[in-house]
Structure formats: structure tokens, C-alpha cells
Amino acid sequence: MNTETQETRRSRRSETFWKKAFFSLAGVFGIFAVGLVVGLSVAGGNSEAPQPTMVQAQGGQIEARWDRDVQPLPEGEDGSFASVAATALPVVVEVNVVEVVEQRAPSSPFEFFFGPRDGDPEGEPREFERPGLGSGVIVRRNGENVYILTNHHVVGNASEIEIGLYDGRRFTAELVGGDPRTDLAVLNVETSEDVPVARLGDSDALSVGDWVLAVGNPFGFDSTVTAGIVSATGRRPQQAGGGLPELTDFIQTDAAINPGNSGGALVNMSGEIVGINTWIVGSQTGGSVGLGFAIPMSQAADTVDQFITEGRIVYGWLGVSITDADSPAMTGLAEDLGIAETDGALITNVWIDSPAHTDGIRPGDFVVEIDGVPVADTFDLQRAVGAIRPGETGTFRVIRDGAERTIDVTIAEREAEDVVAVATNIWPGLTVVPVDDDLRERHDIADDGALVAVVERESSAARAGIQPGDVITHVDDERIDGAREFYAAAAEASGRLELRVARNGVTVSIGLPAL
């Protein structure tokens, strides 16, 4: 494995710095930045996170173990964090990537300067190399294999990856595996040289007000340390906007994080890595305004083993579509189902032959608990199911038609996103809400029943001819009054459902195939 001296590295850095900075500012790489948001935080006390010790496992693998008697590293007499920084800097690396992208070349000089005109022939696509920059943390060593944890959006589809250590050494790295749903990835460097390994801390022990350091390579300024506090914990992706990993929550910090910090370390006062810096809410230039977000190490650490052994993260799959019954789009649904004051997630559809279908989960079931752990909302349900290993059984406590029941479901492995997204195999393929006075007035609805709010494309309901805005008034010749009665009938159905639907003043009979 080729290495370079520190003097050579400095020379290379001076030649490439402004190129890296340009691409960072252009948003080609680094942490996502959105909107103009200004926030203020007040500094607080020290973290008492547990101290991990490095131990050698089978096969020579080096990994962290937590010691609950950890004490924070001493501050200098002037209150500096020099000892903490000295512990963290050697285990945070610079990640340089090159991604090959395909773009259409201009077909003429005119198009090069002024853009294409109608009728102009299209130029031939050409491949271009696009550089990127981020950070990573050395989390494990197994023999000559050194593993580095970073963000998936840092490495993406990179064709070349180079790692730069704090002491100036550089190595070529390979992608072990990446996962966009958690925005995490693991890289591998093969070397017999001595390489420091991070001490991993317990992010669950963090409290709002604890001091933390952010370490990384913002805008190409390698080995940069910034200080701040934990501003909040348990931040959800929905709270900060779109584009965030959907299966994690975040540590919020006011330690300055900028493009290039992605994949770097959030460090507690014991010098332990408690988070992977991932995302910022920034100004219009993409700079930090004191709202940075890191993936907690309690979630990130569990993915490392899966990447190393499987090359990917294996998710559990239940086979349902879900919604928050109290969301504004589901007008009156929570009240109609009798769950208005209850936390949980509503099952709206079930995949045919899925674990949910096979083991008895039905549309209209409101999941309040999995394996004894309360479910707050759809986010909680996704995370809880995804964390159950395929082949294992989860115990679901649900509310169906006002009554609680317990259902054991053996979870399967989640397939690729493009496979899961196909709706042709879901039942019934629709979501209903009760017809209340507001809906009746706004949509000129004369009939009582369950209003069809959503019809999934290519689903059983869509193929049967059900349309959004239809009011289901009867199921198997039984009058229904609201969403609760529709879901109760659907849950008990053993065959084809015969629906009577009111549509624009006309009654339509529709047969819905059996589940």
C-alpha cells in the first residue's frame, strides 16, 4: 500500500485545496444545507459517557468495549479542550472521492455558449470525473483490514476513494457497503502499518447542554476541530426537512459543521466518538449557522458488523403500508377509530403473502407496541420492524375495532426498494376516512359511509375501479358508517368484498378481490 510523507501531502494539498473548496461550495459533496435558519444555544456542562477500552477479539479483530467508570479528560487551566482534540484527531480521516458521471456533450459551439435550440441534434454523452471530499472515522481493525465509518452520501458511487490520515499518510480505500436509508457506509483499507482506532462512546448517555467537539475536513481544511454543545437529542428527519436518512434520529449540536464535515466525528469530553456528523441547516452559502446533526453512535455502531459480514444492512420486512392516523390529511380518522389520544401507527394496506398477511395483521390495525416497546408513530414502527432480524418473531400489540389483541409475526427480509415500492400486490389498496360535516360541505357529499381518500396505483382497489372521492356505503350488503366499520369488515373478510359505492350521485357496485 503506497504512502506519502507529510511534506508531500502538504504540497498536494496546496495544489488541490481550492478545487476541493469550490466543489464543496457548489454542493457537489459534503453535508446537505437547506434554508436560512438562525438558532442560538447556551453552553452547558460535561458529558459522563462511558469509556470504551480496546480489546482483541477472535481473529485479531480490535473493537471497543464500554467501561462505565469513565471520567472526562482534563481541561487545561484556561478551559481548553486540547486533550480531547488530541485524542480524537488521529482517528478522523479525510475522504477524497472521484465519481464518474455521464453528461451530454454540446453538439456545436453555439450550444456550448448559449444552450441547445429546438431541433438541434443531441450531442454524444461523455464521462466526466467529479471530485468530492468528506470525512470518516477509523472504527475497527481486523488483521490488516482497517474499517472506516462515513456517510453514504460522501462515497456514493465513487470510482476512486483515497483516505488521508492525520499524520500525513494516504491510502487507497474500497467501499465495503453503503446504505442510503441510514446514510452510513464503511470503507476498507488494507495495511500492516500501525493505525489508531477510535474509542466509541455511548450516545444514549448524552444530555442537552453537554460539551461536544466536531472533527472533520470542512471546505478542505483538514483536521478541523470546532466546539459546541448538544442542542437536542432524538431529532426526527421530518423535523428538519426532506432529504435526510429515514431510519435514524439525530443529535443536534451548535458546534460548527460545514460541507466536508460529513462522515466526521462528534466527540464527547472523554475523547469518545458519540456521533457521525451528517447534515446541517445552513445559510444560503451552505455555511453553518449553528444547527448541525449527527447520527448517534448507538445506531451507527450496529451497522458496522452488518457491512463487514454482509456488505449491506439487512432490514426486517413486515409487508404493510402505514400512516399516522392523526395527520392533517386523515381528517377525523383517529377520532373515528377511537385512538385519538393513543400513540401508534395505523396499518392501511397489507402485502399479499407477506409476513403481516400470513400471521394475521390486517388493514385498520393500529400498532401500539412491538416486543413490549411502545410505538409512538410511523417512524417508530419502521425503525422497530427494520431492526428485527429476518426469521425472528416480533410480538405486535394492536387495536382493532376498539379492542386490543396480540399478534406474533415472523419477520422476512426486506427486498430492494424498487421491488417494495410496487403496489400491485397490496390489499385493499385504498385508505378511507370518515365522512364528517366538514368533508360533506366541502365536497358536496350526500351519503354517509367511508370516504376513499387514497387509491394506490395498480393495486387491487385501482384495478377494481375504485376512485378517490368515492363513498363506500355498504360492505357485503351491510350498511357502514365511517372508516372504523369499513376496516372492521375488511379485517374479518374471508373472501371477495362486495362494495356499494356512491359516486357523483350514482350508486356503483364494485367487487374487491379477496386478501
Q: What residues are labeled active site?
A: 153, 183, 262
CB atoms within 10 A of CB 192: 8
Q: Which position has the grid cell 410511523? A: 378
In the three-class reduction of DSSP (H, G, I as helix; E, B as strand; rest coil), residue 304 is classed as helix
Residue 451's Cβ-count burial label (10 Å; 0-12, 13-18, 19+) is buried
CA distance 367 to 275: 30
Please name the amino acid found at residue 482. G
CA–CA–CA angle 306, 312, 316 (5° rounding): 80
Amino acid at 248: T
Burial class from Cβ neighbours inside 10 Å (0-12, 13-18, 19+) for residue 220 reads buried
3-state secondary structure of 43: coil
Residue 96's DSSP bridge partners are 133, 162
Round to whole Å and give the CA distance between 497 and 515: 9
Name the DSSP class of 40. Answer: -
Q: Closest by alpha carbon to 483, among 455, 506, 453, 456?
A: 453
Taking the C-alpha atoms of residue 240 and residue 39, their distance in angstroms, rounded to an integer, is 13
Give the DSSP letter string of 433-489.
EE--HHHHHHHT--S-SEEEEEE-TTSHHHHHT--TT-EEEEETTEE--SHHHHHHH
Closest to 273 measured CA to CA, from 336, 212, 193 = 212
- Of 496, 493, 503, residue with least CA distance to 452: 503
| Distance between start and end Cα atoms, the chain | 58
* Inter-residue contact 239 to 293 (CB < 8 Å): no
Rounded Cα gap, residues 351 and 322, in angstroms: 12
Alpha-carbon distance of 313 to 339, in angstroms, equals 34
- Residue 123's Cβ-count burial label (10 Å; 0-12, 13-18, 19+) is middle
